[in-house]
Structure 1
Amino acid sequence: MNARPPDSILRCTHHFAARPSLTFEEAIQFLHQLCSGPGANLTYSWQFIDKPSEGDICVYFQVSAPTPLIDGIHYLDNETTYRPSQELEVQEVRFGFIPGIGEKEAGRVRTAKRAFASNDERTIRNYPLPIINEPPMYVVGEKSGQRVMAPNAVQLANQQQQLDALAASRRHAGMQPQARKQDDDSDEESNRVSTRALAVTRFKRNHELLAEILLLMPRAVPSPYEKTDKAELEAKFATKRELAELTEKLSQEEHDMEDVIKIDETTPAREAPKTST
């Protein structure tokens, strides 16, 4: 089987009608339909996208994503890529922290800059294009990874698998078996921070900050009624109420007496009757 060209892609074998424009919402709906329902039964084969016309819709499946850079720092944000110029590409990721050392803030930023030559010729393609002799395959759904082969292709594939198995058994017999060293993932597992652990750490940090704030705040003035006896207070109120009633009664009596005195003073004296002789 011929080597697959590096610029080939796993393209959908179904032909889609050309459209002059496609909005963001239509694109999202279109991709969802390709991943579920009837779209899961479409096959994909290794092809080229060569000089497409205006409005052509090319659907392809990305086999593998770019390998991320591992530098021992855990980032909470996604990496962003942009090109400020034709000669420079910038990849930036924010909110990083080193797990396992007790960092309370994720403020690390990693910026990777990649330079391109001004006369970049990576888009140049050699013609004629080679023929890719690989059958179509399913990429989503229950048949993911299965290939659709013609009867002759199935027989040839079985023969090729048998030859490969025979060659592998011969190589295995000629080689001394070596014990495979198990990969030690303890350090990698210890460096991973789960979402729950991160949430607990943030909660503890906020609790400590709140405790410091409350410690610096002045204490509230105690209420003067905290140590007051209710029964004693009611007894005092009753005594004062009786005293007020007596005072009011005495004041009323004095007022009545003053009225009587005033009436007596304002009444004119009568002359004594004269007797005649």
Structure 2
Amino acid sequence: MTSLQAAHADGVCLRYPDSLGIYPQVTQENAAAMLIRAISLAQSTPFGWGYIDKPPDGSLFLVFQTPQLQCPPDGIVYQDREQKYYLPCGNNKELEVCEVKLGFVPGVDQFAYRVRRRFRMYKGGHPQLMLIHYSRGQSTTIVPSLNSPARNYPLRPVNEPAIFVLGERQGQKVYPNGVAPPLAASADRGIVQFNMPPNVGAGAGMGGMGGMGAGPLPGNPAAMLAHQNSNMEVLERRAQRERGMSMFLAFRSRLRRSWRWAADEAENISTRTLALTRYRRNHEYMNEVFMHARLTIPVFAGDKKASASPPYSIFKLSDLEENWCAKTAAEVEELKNKAAARKQAADAARDQLRDVPMGGLAISDPVP
């Protein structure tokens, strides 16, 4: 048995690498929207191997189901049986919900109160993408016979590289340093199979999901939905940046090839042909510039007797005398009146200063 097969027995699964945050509740509308948008995200982000073990309340995980492991164990013992039901989501989509209650962590919890819900798109999406959410429910006493560890500890370490689960690079491994180990060390090569069940819908999504930090407080569905949408948009923009960078690199490579082709073609054209082409092109430009002038200006139109009018022909002497001269004279008269008024005020102030007696002031007197 290989190391990955042994880890499968312990409950290792393919998980989305980033944290999806803490959410007290996840509605069916939120789960359906996140699963649809997770399709495009899974095409550009490799999933990593890891465990789900004793998750805190509000934890949310995005898991890719493999044929080897349909539902990964989580270190929680459930006293209730799992219930499965289907909910319509519109546009011929159907959401599958698996819910189990009365869970507890042996040796840690005093009561059985944990609730686990698993969401996946049964129709209209990718059925191997699964959301797992943990929350609190009604508590009850723990059955003593069930109070034993749910899995063997310590868990086996997993050193397998991340892997693309969807898209054109499906099944491609992503090594940390970009270098694959020797073939002899890759005994688990090909252990993962990505088989699509027969009930796969034609769903497609745009955007990402996830986010950092805790979600909003319970009891406010609108705030919860806004917080989840903002977290989705963060990873969506990151995925778009990665796709944009790959498109830019491909475009730059094609551009460089086109430049090389253009240089090769220029070497095969003679100097006389290039000069003739430039001569014709420049005269076409000049013809477009002077075409309008030849049709509107008499000198360019062929009327040799016509002459350009002087620059001051737009003014009339009568208009200047009636408007501009009268206006200028009024402004000058107004300025003279203001100057005379200021001079009169200054003279009056000087006369008042002369009439003030200066003998009544002494050096010792305080100045008010």
TM range (shorter): 0.3 to 0.5
Q: TM-score, normalised by structure 1?
A: 0.35
Structure with larger RCO (C-alpha < 8 A, sep 6+)? 2
**TM-score, with normalisation over the residues of structure 2?**
0.27
User: Rg larger in 1 or in 2?
Assistant: 1
